[in-house]
């Protein structure tokens, strides 16, 4: 049996949307939008 992964890792693997929320590019884009 494979060792259990942290819940966050499972969510990122199962749901691309959650993984996208954690990408630096999107976070940087959100920060840029707030500055304007």
Q: pLDDT for 1-36, tens place per residue?
A: 677 665 555 555 566 665 555 565 555 565 555 655
With beta carbons less than 8 A apart as the criterion, state whether 12 and 18 touch: yes
Instruction: Please give the pLDDT value at position 31.
Output: 58
Give whole-number Cα distances, 10 to 4, 20, 31, 34, in Å.
9, 14, 27, 30
Instruction: Please give the pLDDT value at position 2.
Output: 72
Stated pTM of the model: 0.16
In the chain, DSSP finds a helix count (H) and a strand count (E) of: 3, 0
In the block, which residue shows the tokens 């993984």? 19
Instruction: Please give the pLDDT value at position 22.
Output: 57
Identify the DSSP state of 22: T
Give the separation between CA 30 and CA 6, rounded to whole angstroms: 27
């Amino acid at each position: 049996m494979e060792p259990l992964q942290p819940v966050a890792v499972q969510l990122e693997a199962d749901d691309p949307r959650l993984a996208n929320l954690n990408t630096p590019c999107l976070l940087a884009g959100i920060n840029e939008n707030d500055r304007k």
